[in-house]
Amino acid sequence: MAGETAPFNYLVVLPRDRCSVNDKGLKLMFRHKSGRKMIRLAFVGMLAVVLVAAMASEAPARRSPFEPLSIFARALAYIELSYLEPVDQESLVYGAIRGLADSLDPHSVFLDPEEYEILKSDAEGRFAGVGVEVSTRDGWLTILSVFDGGPAAKAGLRPGDRFLTIDAEDARDVRLYDAVLRIRGEPGTTVDVTIRRDGHEKAIERTLTRAFIDVDPIEMQLLDDGLVYVRIKAFQDGTARLLSDALDQVVVKRRRQGGVTGLLLDLRDNGGGLLHEAVWVSDELLASGVIVSTRGRGGEKISEYSARRAGTRPKWPIVVLINENTASASEIVAGALRDHKRAVLVGVRSFGKGSVQNIFELPGGSALKLTTYRYYTPSGRSIQAEGITPDLVAEQPRQEGEPEPIREEELERHLAAQPKGVGVQGKPVSKRAPEATGKTPAIFVDDSQGQRGYEVLKREIASR
């Protein structure tokens, strides 16, 4: 089971050591020694007062932002002294930090040590679970996608299925990471789930045997007349390298048959992942120019990533498929290729996850996934809560009972598109994609969106 992904996925910046460590701040350490309880509480209170006084001396003209620490210290002291039952200090502190993060945007979150391990294994693309990607919709833990060959796929689970129970425990209104912890476990162990599927009166009961799930982020097929179809499922460690290797293989295969004539890049249902992988994938197809830039508070530019000429692929005609679940890192790729007029985008408006999360390690193995800046396409347009608008609109018919998609702007506490006066204003204008004609590749038999993207690519090739 993947962690917090698809369209609610994160865009994470991980330095070479995979995370940044900052232990230089305040460390509150609690020890269960009854004889020292009053000394410990007094120390917490005095420490808060010292912090407040120090901050006030630096900025006497305004109220210190650390003044609420005295409130926290006093509340903690009351709980320590007066609560009916003994309390676990680590749980109290974790709960407090979790509450801080939960008061911010929906992508900032506190991760306890177990949850942090889940996030790291997701980024590496290997984990033990049942092979589903989930998110929460209207309180229900809902399957977004099912990994081919995994336990869930073998048991017949489908996208749109909702978990009613997990090992006989209610699965409604459960935190996403708590649900992930319930479903994941050692390979070979089992988990009992009850599923509600639209159109079925009775709940579906399944026993799933956990297994290692290796997510292959690249799927490639060589179509007729030298057209190449590549689906990128996630931007995890190694995605750009695997894409490069796959393209190298098809170039060699087509060397004596007229070469590669066009590329159909499928970013649908790609919830994102690692920023550097998105930059490297874009760099494969762009010879120069800005790929993406990031801005912090007040629109201040933080960083800018540009393409390099070395290693750039030939200027094949490219069509990119996007949908409402195209999010985060995949939106960076789509936006960069569109702004540089390197590709035609076909599909529907993307999810709109235009913020970057950094991972800050905390003592004890926990971490804070914190939104630190927005990212902008080469033209200076913010994707946050706006998404990427396709050049040519092509909807995918929905099955009966299939829920309407959720986008970033519908999430509680979502960030605004951009600060006033920053970036490009207004929305691009789209046209309707042409209907598919002629022979359709087998992979698009039940995929009208894919058929129309394929038709656009054929027309792009013919026009050159």
CA distances (Å), origin 227, targets 223, 267, 312, 362: 5, 17, 18, 48
Catalytic choice (108, 145, 282, 328): 328
> Active-site residue 328, yes or no?
yes
Judged on CB neighbours under 10 Å (0-12, 13-18, 19+), 283 is buried
> Active-site residue 225, yes or no?
no
Of 113, 133, 134, 135, the closest CA to residue 19 belongs to 113
Does residue 345 contact residue 320 with C-beta atoms inside 8 Å? yes
Residue 326: phi and psi, rounded to 5, are: -75, 115
Of 208, 344, 326, the closest CA to residue 278 belongs to 326
Q: Would you call 38 helix, strand, or coil by DSSP?
A: helix
CA atoms within 13 A on the CB side of 433: 32
Catalytic choice (339, 355, 382, 391): 339
User: What's the CA gap between 120 and 365, in Å, rounded?
Assistant: 12
Of 376, 448, 412, 418, the closest CA to residue 107 belongs to 412
Neighbours of 306 (CB within 10 A): 15
Judged on CB neighbours under 10 Å (0-12, 13-18, 19+), 119 is buried
Joined together, the tokens standing for residue 136 give 């929460």
> Active-site residue 148, yes or no?
no
Catalytic choice (353, 366, 369, 458): 353
Of 412, 373, 370, the closest CA to residue 100 belongs to 370
Positions marked catalytic: 328, 339, 353
